[in-house]
Amino acid sequence: MEVSTSTPYPLTGTNRTTEPQKEGEEDSFAAEDIQAAERFLQTMAKPWNAGRATARKCAPRLLKAMREQEWPGIRELDAAGRKLLEQDITKNPGGVINHAHVLPRRVDDLSLYSTLTRPGRQPRQTPQGGCQRHPGFQEDDCPHCYKAEQQRTRRAATEPAPVNGAALLASLQAAAKAAEAS
């Protein structure tokens, strides 16, 4: 498609997210598959779970990527298959700030199903020294844990120290007796 403009300069900043479809090459999916894909995307573990609009936008992309990468249909996946799909989409989370923005690209980059289901393949585990709460970061270099620790330290420094009421009362009573005696 050619666009004519009154400017001699070519159009810039027109980022196409999808390639134009060729004649007769249409991606059509059953409504049940679209709904199942939307549901899957909305029920992924936080922070990767998609909102309604993001799920609606990504569902056809997910189904297309699954078909091209030889995955079973979304409705044929059992719990283990759904978990494997989610793990593949959310792998290498280091540095991701806006998960909803990254999700469509992760869906487009889905791994070939047969490479994930080879016999003898071990499930992904946290690497030695990796942060248990934030996979993708080393335990001693996790920015999320570091920030949380800073906030805890700041809170502890600004909170008043607990008062030992019995010791304070005894001290005041001793001072009152000493003042009476003199």
Model confidence pLDDT, tens digit, residues 103-118: 888 888 888 888 887 7
pLDDT in tens, 52-68: 999 999 999 999 999 99
| More confident site: 38 or 160 | 38
Nearest to 95 by CA among 55, 141, 152: 141
Residue 176 is predicted with a pLDDT of 92
In a domain? residue 80 = yes
Range of the domain at 35: 31-119
Residue 167 within a domain: no
The pLDDT assigned to 14 comes to 44
Q: Which helix (H) or strand (E) holds 68?
A: helix 52-68
Domain assignment of residue 78, yes or no: yes
Distance of CA 60 to the CA centre of its chain: 20
Q: How many CB atoms lie within 10 A of CB 79?
A: 7
Total count of domains within the chain: 1
Q: Is the pLDDT of residue 75 over 80?
A: yes
| Alpha-carbon gap, residue 119 to 171, rounded angstroms | 73
- Answer yes or no: is 1 within a domain: no
Residue 179 lies in a domain: no
62 belongs to a structural domain? yes
**pTM for the predicted model, two decimal places:** 0.52
Is 77 inside a domain boundary? yes
**Is residue 40 a contact partner of residue 74, using CB atoms and an 8 Å limit?**
yes
Q: Which two tokens stand for residue 108?
A: 């487009």
CA distance readout (Å), 141 to 96, 136, 146, 150: 16, 10, 8, 13
pLDDT > 70 in the chain, percent:
76
Flag whether 127 is in a domain: no
Q: How many Cβ atoms sit within 10 Å of the Cβ of residue 69?
A: 16
Q: How far apart are the first and last CA of the chain?
A: 103
Other beta carbons within 10 angstroms of residue 65's beta carbon come to 18
